[in-house]
A and B are shown apart, each in its own frame.
Chain A
Amino acid sequence: MMAGERSFGLMLLEMTLLVLIGPLVTGIIQKIKARLQCRQGAGVLQPYRDLTKLFRKGTVQADTASGLYRSIPVLVLAATVAAGALVPVVRAGPPAFPLGDALLLLGLLALARFLTAVGALDAGGAFGGMGASREMTVAPLVEPVLMMVVFSTAVAAGTTELGALAAHRGTSWILAWRAADFLGFAAMLVLLPAETGRIPVDNPDTHLELTMLHEGMLLEHSGPGLGCMVLASHTRQIVTLGLVSALFFPVGLADGAGATGLLLGAGAFAAKILALATYLALVESSYAKLRLFRVPQYLGIAFVCALTALALRIL
């Protein structure tokens, strides 16, 4: 069953949609966490309020920062949003206007990560440098795993373009999973908290702990710059979740361009993202943050799973 091509307009629409609902996903995760901890918690729209507040404020910048520093948040946001364009949201099928594939997506995310670290170092703050060095310790463990998971599914589909990959897998349910998919998905489940900067690898709720990774790098940013960085991390989160659902659960993605199909696809996408968000919230509430030197051991699980998945596909 080969779906039709996705039009360029639809892809732009999907990208905008991702950026717009990114903060909502964060809000939902925070809400679920709060409820699990028997708190009322802020409303699910709180991330939007935070963002509007940030974009209204002025910018304060470290004296030591170079000219590059001001452009970093914009670049990071641009790279992340561009990555969003490569994720199929409501429709499967190859794009009419080939922008790039899963590898480009991972590359863009890596670029955003790199720029964030550069910015943190540029500001010259102690926390920023520490956060950057930790992030760069974790990144080499995370990115190869992502690559391998993508490859392990791509080998079967014969393409690395996510829309086509989703179309190849078809919209059937778990019975279409091969052995490698279980391991690949397991690797992704282990990896998700790391990629979205959550417990047990990172702690998104704090700026004070010595163990923080991502938040440490944002300390020196302020005003609209910080707003861009925060929006970028919301987007990165939903892009990663979208990647997982495109790789493993393309079910519900519309085959044609009909309005009902698209609506159904949107609904399925929302359900899948909600499920993954719930998973993240559950993990965050039930585990403690790992000591930094335990993180490689934790990510090692994902690494072995992904490598085994790849081996299963090839051998």
Chain B
Amino acid sequence: MSAETVHTIIDDLGALLLFTMILILAASQIYRAIYAVATQSFLIAIAGGVLATATGNVDLWVIAGVTLAVKAFVLPWVLHRVVQRMNVRREVEPVIPVAATLALAVVVIVMSFHLSASLGSVRQAIAGNALPVGIALTLLGVLVMATQKKALTQMVGLFASENGIFFTAMAVTQGMPLIIEIGVILDVILAALVMAIMVLRVRSTVDADIADLDRLRG
């Protein structure tokens, strides 16, 4: 594959990633957000495969495979199970109107592209639009966490955020060292498990969403 083709494909995948992110932001039901983030991880895995083919870097295949298994299947499945176990109202409750969130999203996206357009020659170290898309996904993930009151939506936002970082990390020339990427994924799994346990524990003791608790103030 020529460098040109790789850049085009990464750009295209970046656009699709942004689309899934917008779907997460506007999702009115928790299940849709979970499916959207699973799709997003799937796209990241594809990006890993494309970059692996292009650079001949075997590590990237491993990373793509692990991403596919863990973030596209296992973690969404865990989230799915937790939603079922909690048996909660599945409508997402935003803190601010979704329209406002979407407006903020536009600002974030435009800002990310503007920011990375201001960079010099070093942009070539990262394939295609992976840098601005990565920044946008990371920030939008935070936006999801900040504007949703449900614990599970916050977790979805976290995964989306992490997806953004992975996308950029993969697209850095030759990818990150394998051991680091594996360590990062391991951390993400552990954090997700601890969070899931906390959510279920609070649900079983006080019948409330853990993110809704607000006794600690001042």
Contact = CB atoms under 8 A, between A and B. Distances in A.
Q: Do chains A and B touch in the complex (CB under 8 A)?
A: yes
The B interface is mostly helix, strand or loop, or mixed, namely helix
Main secondary structure of the interface of A (DSSP, over half): helix
B98 A297 contact: yes
Contact of B113 (A175, A177, A297, A311): A311
Nearest to A311: B110
B29 to A, nearest CB: 12
B11 A304 contact: no
Interface in A257-315: 294, 296-298, 300-301, 303-305, 307-309, 311-312, 315
Contacts of B12: 177-179, 182
Contacts of A296: 99
A180 B12 CA distance: 8
B98 A311 contact: no
B69 interface: no
A186 interface: yes
Interface size classification for chain A: 20 to 34
A181 B12 CA distance: 8
B102 A180 contact: no
Interface of B: 8, 11-12, 14-16, 18-19, 22-23, 25-26, 28, 97-99, 102, 105-106, 109-110, 113-114, 117, 129
A296 B23 CA distance: 14
25 contacts: A175-B8, A177-B12, A178-B11, A178-B12, A179-B12, A179-B14, A179-B15, A179-B129, A182-B15, A182-B16, A296-B99, A297-B102, A298-B26, A300-B102, A301-B102, A303-B102, A304-B25, A304-B105, A307-B106, A307-B110, A308-B22, A311-B106, A311-B113, A312-B15, A315-B114
B133 to A, nearest CB: 9
Contacts of B18: 183, 308
A47 B129 CA distance: 48
Residue among A177, A303, A308 with the highest chain B CB neighbour number at 10 A: A308
B152 to A, nearest CB: 19
Nearest to A184: B15
A315 B113 contact: yes
B8 A186 contact: no
A247 to B, nearest CB: 16
Contacts of B109: 304, 308, 311
A312 B133 CA distance: 10
Contacts of A297: 26, 28, 97-99, 102
A300 B26 contact: yes
4 closest cross-chain pairs (CB), A and B: A179-B15, A179-B11, A182-B15, A315-B113
A305 B19 contact: yes
Nearest to A307: B106
Contacts of B97: 297
Contact of A308 (B28, B106, B114): B106
Given A179-B14, A183-B18, 8 more contacts: A179-B15, A182-B12, A182-B19, A301-B102, A308-B15, A308-B106, A311-B113, A312-B129
